[in-house]
A = this chain, B = another copy of it.
Amino acid sequence: MRRPESIAIVGLGLIGGSLAKRLLVRGIQVVSWDVDPQTRAKAGAAGIDCVSEIEQVCAGEPDLLILAVPLHQMAGIAGALLPNLPARTIVSDVGSVKAPIAALMAELGLASRYVGTHPMAGSEQSGFDWASADLLLGAPWVLTLVPETPRTGVELMMSMVTGDLEGRVHPLSNDVHDASVALVSHLPHAVANELLTVVGTSEFAAVAIGLAAGSFRDGTRVAGTNPRRTEAMLLDNKEWLEAAVRQAIAGLTRFADALAVGEDVAAFFDDPAAIKSRIQTHSRQSGWIDFAVLDDGHWQSELLALGARGGLITAVEPVTDRLQVSW
């Protein structure tokens, strides 16, 4: 299975910058560009090859082009790159929502040359100043697949993530990805923000915050930080997020109604206890997928079936193309 030898990175923020720094350590040839001249200067000073015009970033015909820019800039950036995009270069991105980007790539005629990805790592900070070669190390990394997804692109990404980044790959459809991050990231952010607002705007706020227990501190830890970045992240996934928020509202309403009329609320506490116990006692199994023998139309469905049951790829055997997997 081929490992990428040259990668172009557009956007040197926290994720793009960290990726560039790590790939540099790994001896992979990196050419990059960022819209901000100061960022380009800083990246250059850190040893990262930085071109001054976006059109030049793929001049070396890299194996991979990774777009690490905000979702709302993706169309403009991809459009600017398209005329000079070498035929051999696989396009990828690291955005936190996948269906809209897959749709954009299809519109641009790039569906058969595109692999969507989402590295599940980050920090409270943003920008190249906070980028580090270690940030993405060992992170879960979602690859999103559609029938047109190029096998070469998936192979390059699987090699890079499991090898150069020591991470694990979650192969998912765009919708399963977007629905899942709505549940485990965007909904918790919404709930934490609302919890902080309810307490902070209460007439009892001064007393309540003075008495704050661990449950409040944990429940509001991600609230109120980077409001614009959180807003953008949640708005990018607003359909799935809205559905998740409505689910939470429905459950809380059933609970409040039961409290009001004195109905039994045991299930409200027993259900999450059973879920937590299931999570904690789940014993993972491992196995392998013989990727080499799977032909087109089968390798996608095989990987998606693995991902849909919570499975992931932990390593790639470079000679045999066997994938070590666990679920």
- Interface residues, chain A, CB within 8 Å of chain B? 120, 140, 142, 170, 172, 176-177, 179-181, 183-185, 187-202, 204, 206-216, 218-225, 227-228, 230-231, 234-235, 238, 241-242, 244-249, 251-253, 255-256, 259-260, 265-266, 268-279, 307-312
Contacts and interface: CB of A to CB of B under 8 A. Distances in A.
B310 A271 contact: no
A120 B253 CA distance: 28
Contact of A271 (B185, B190, B201, B277): B201
A259 B186 CA distance: 13
B224 A202 contact: no
A252 B197 CA distance: 11
B187 A195 contact: yes
Q: In the assembly, how many copies of this chain are there?
A: 2
Given A231-B265, A272-B193, A199 B212 contact: no
A310 B206 contact: yes
A191, A197, A252, A272: most-surrounded residue (chain B CB, <10 A): A272
A236 to B, nearest CB: 11
Given A210-B170, A238-B259, A251 B183 contact: no
A204 B240 CA distance: 12
